[in-house]
A and B are shown apart, each in its own frame.
Chain A
Amino acid sequence: MSKDIFVFIECKEGVVRKASFELLSKAKELNEGTSSDSYAVLIGSNVKHTAEELRAYADKIIIVDKDILEEYRWDTYTHVMEHLIIKYNPRMVFGASTVTGKDLFPRLAARLDAPIVSDAIGIVSEGEDTKIKKPLFGGKIISWVAFRGGKTAFVTFRPNTFSIEKKILNGEIIEETVDLQKDTRMNVLGIQKAGTNKIDLQEADFIICGGRGMKDPDNFRTLEEIADIMGGRAGASRAVVDAKWRDYDDQIGKSGKTVSPKLYIGCGISGALHHTMGMDTSKVIVAINKDPNAPIFQYADYGIVDDIFNILPVLKGELKKTKEEL
């Protein structure tokens, strides 16, 4: 087994996802001072120009460019990754804990009978050993785990776990090819894109989330405007999604998405556990609620006790000013 680290690159509309850059930065950092390489593994169709984007972040970039790989499918991608991993024998393979990551990595790990830790939020090298930080029970407990057995190990990380460090590398592009066909047992009949330009909730640096305290679905427009000003995303609590005011895609919490933005602002959110377990690893948490006893204040760094309808219009104005100053 080599000491190299593979990073599976995910793209959205032909553009490399932020989470992949984060993983490349971390892989590079872990290999600092060693002779091991960090590899970006890019699978798809017409990806050569995308590979160029990766050169500054990885020592090597493996590309497998075939028409059949244009859309992600677990069968084709698992086959390609399996082939590459057997050939290169990296010590770890990183991926983002996204919809695609959750589909591909377990299949691949099982294919190779390899250990996997999923949805991790940290990794630390201690000499020869590596330990991985994994949250449990909605973040109430942190576990540190290690691999045993000396085989290639798989780790998926939550988006927004690491910062992006642009190294001035000059990654070498390696073109690989693999023979493959689609699994005939599966046939994709159609794809409906969400049709929005909304930033992925899990990748957003800024999230402003509304709860039942928003009183009316129309009031979310202000949250969307603030999200636009900040280049982020508006989110929703379960109660609001259940009431059909917002889409399930916006839901943050135990039965929705887990997010970790740099700045999270909760408006009219009470702070029930099933919501907070989906956002309490955010870097900075701000709560706005007129009830000083709302549990959300137990999780927040800063708070304003006031009616959100008094605060939000002012907040929007001030944030706009702040952004314009920058």
Chain B
Amino acid sequence: MKILVFIKQVADTEARILIKSDKKSLEIENKYNMNFFDEFAVEEAVSIKEKTEGTWVAVCTYGSKRAIEALRTAIAMGADQAFLLDNTNLDSDDPLITAKILAGFARQEGFDFILCGRQAIDDESSNIGVMTAEFLGIPHVNSVMKLDIVNGNRALAESEIEGGRETIEVQLPALFTTQKGLNEPRVPLITGVMKAMKADIPLIDPCSTGLIRETIDTGAARINVLYYETPQGRPAVRIIEGASPEEKVKGLIAVLKEEAKVL
């Protein structure tokens, strides 16, 4: 059985981000990690591999060479192989393009099912997984919190839906996006770390998977960032003073009523 995992390397939540003077590009502090929700995808793939003989886990990402580090982390956790789909000269803000590229690779590589995080914490768009499933013509299940593979050809997934949970049986091939709670991502054993350090990670030109360059280059993007800005700051906090808790609370209610007008 072959499991494909898509991951994204994202800036650390603590990384400092500055808007460059042209307002059209960003300077991001060099602190990157594997996307939080993708960890659950890698962990699930490796857990399934450990329980099921003959399972192969391949991880890929569409990004720059910097993302190789995130791929190594996936190998350290137990993935068998990793691939970098090189975005040099192709980078755009259009999720359709990313999804087409991932689908192109998945088609070429072959898979029984695909796992990826439910959203990236840098843009919180939650598009890529579902879009890739559409391009591959396979079913998807979002926000999976439990996954059982039955007989290598179908899956029982428990997913988060509006106001509850749904248990769904899906025929493979399919794509599942992973939600927190699915599992506990492991801290890699040092044997995994050593293996990851030595791993050979090929760089793949997205066009080599059969995609036509004009459909995936920057010119094909149908979303354009006009400019960036920093969010409107709030003025410094106003501490409500008082001689007693009662006084403080009364003072707070007063400003919330009169000033902020939220009561």
Whether B167 contacts A254 by the Cβ 8 Å rule is no
When C-beta atoms are compared, the residue in chain A nearest to B119 turns out to be: A102
B212 interface hit (Cβ, 8 Å): no
The contact string, 1 if C-beta is below 8 Å from chain B, for chain A 291-306, is 0100001111111111
> Is A151 a contact partner of B131 (Cβ separation < 8 A)?
no
Task: Give A283 to B165 CA distance when docked, in angstroms.
Answer: 31
**Cβ-defined contact, A115 with B142, below 8 A:** no
Q: Which residue of A lies closest to B160 (CB)?
A: A99
Task: Give chain A interface residues in 117-151, CB to chain B under 8 Å.
Answer: 117-119, 131, 134-149, 151
**B208-235 at interface with A (beta carbon < 8 Å):** 221-231, 234-235
CA of A189 to CA of B252, assembled, Å: 50
How many A-B residue contacts, CB cutoff 8 Å?
A: 242
Chain B, 160-214, CB within 8 A of any chain A CB:
160-171, 174, 180-181
Is the CB–CB distance between B123 and A136 below 8 Å?
yes
- B55 close to A (CB within 8 Å): no
Interface size on B, residues (CB 8 A): 81
Is B131 touching A137 in the complex (CB atoms < 8 A)? no
A134 to B223, CA, bound (A): 12
A269 interface residue (CB < 8 Å to B) = no
Q: Known contacts being A115-B222, A303-B240, is A258 close to B124, with CB within 8 Å?
A: yes
Q: Residue on B with the closest CB to A230?
A: B263
The reply to whether A106 and B245 form a contact with Cβ atoms under 8 Å apart is no
User: Using an 8 Å CB-CB cutoff, how does the interface string of B105-139 with A read, 1 for contact, 0 for none?
Assistant: 00000000000001101111111111101110001
Q: How far is the CA of A145 from the CA of B226 in the complex (A)?
A: 5
Among A138-187, those with CB < 8 Å from B are 138-149, 151, 153, 183, 185-187
A194 contacts B164, CB within 8 Å? yes
Decide if A49 is an interface residue (CB 8 Å cutoff). no
Q: How far is the CB of B164 from chain A (nearest CB, A)?
A: 4
Distance between A202 CB and nearest chain B CB, rounded to angstroms: 11
Give B137 Cβ to nearest chain A Cβ, in Å.
10
Q: How far is the CA of A298 from the CA of B170 in the complex (A)?
A: 47
Closest to A297 in B: B237
| Known A-B contacts A109-B96, A119-B125, A248-B181; A144 and B229 likewise in contact (beta carbons under 8 Å) | yes
Q: Contact between A137 and B174 (Cβ–Cβ < 8 Å)?
A: no
Q: Does B150 contact A (CB under 8 A)?
A: no
Chain A residues whose CB sits within 8 angstroms of the CB of B121 once the complex forms: 138, 254-255
Query: Which residues of A lie under 8 Å from residue B226 when comparing CB positions?
Result: 131, 144-146
From residue B16, how far is it (CB to closest CB) to chain A in Å? 9
Interfacial residues of chain B within 1-60, with CB under 8 A of chain A in the complex: 11, 13-15, 17, 19, 26, 36-37
Q: Does A35 contact B (CB under 8 A)?
A: no
- Residues of B near A109 (CB, < 8 A) are 96, 127, 131
Given A140, A258, A280, A314, which contacts B17 in the complex, CB threshold below 8 Å? Answer: A140
Residues of B within 8 A of A287 (CB): 237
Query: With an 8 A cutoff between CB atoms, is B94 at the interface?
Result: yes
Asked if A263 is at the interface (CB within 8 A of a chain B CB), the reply is yes
- Shortest CB distance B180–A (Å): 5
Contact present for A188 and B167 (CB under 8 Å)? yes
**A145 with B223, Cβ < 8 A, contacts A100-B162, A137-B11, A318-B250 known:** yes
A302 engages B229 (CB within 8 Å): no
B169 touches A117 (CB 8 A): no
Q: Is the CB of A142 within 8 A of B249?
A: no
- Interface-located stretch among B62-70, B71-79, B80-88, B254-262: B254-262
Which A residue's beta carbon lies closest to that of B134?
A110
**Are B222 and A147 within 8 A (Cβ)?**
yes
Inter-chain CA distance A287–B139, complex, in Å, is 44
In this assembly, does A68 line the interface, its C-beta being within 8 Å of a C-beta of chain B?
A: no
| B143 lies within 8 A of chain A by Cβ | yes
Chain A residues closer than 8 Å to B263, beta-carbon distance: 263, 319, 322
Which one of B36, B164, B227 lies within 8 Å of A193 (CB-CB)?
B164
What's the nearest-Cβ distance from chain B to residue A198, in Å? 9
Contact between B256 and A286, CB atoms less than 8 A apart: yes
Q: Give the Cβ gap from B163 to chain A, nearest Cβ, in Å.
A: 5
Contact between A189 and B169 (Cβ–Cβ < 8 Å)? yes
Per the bound structure, the CA–CA distance linking A300 and B234 in Å amounts to 8
Closest Cβ of chain A to B76, distance in Å, is 21
Give the residues from 79 to 115 in chain A that come closer than 8 angstroms, CB to CB, to chain B. 98-100, 102-103, 105-107, 109-111, 113-115
Contacts of B15 in A (CB 8 A): 137
Distance in angstroms between the alpha carbons of A149 and B164 in the assembled complex = 39
- A311 in contact with B139 given A144-B227, A145-B93, A145-B225 (CB within 8 Å): no
Beyond A107-B140, A200-B163, 17 additional contacts (C-beta under 8 Å) are A12-B162, A100-B161, A103-B130, A105-B127, A106-B134, A107-B131, A117-B125, A131-B226, A137-B17, A137-B122, A141-B19, A141-B26, A141-B231, A274-B13, A281-B231, A300-B234, A322-B257
Q: Identify the 7 closest CB pairs spanning chains A and B, nearest first.
A: A110-B134, A115-B222, A106-B130, A110-B131, A118-B125, A106-B127, A185-B171
Binding site for A on B (CB under 8 A): 11, 13-15, 17, 19, 26, 36-37, 93-96, 99, 118-119, 121-131, 133-135, 139-143, 156, 160-171, 174, 180-181, 221-231, 234-235, 237-240, 245-246, 248-250, 252-253, 255-257, 260, 262-263
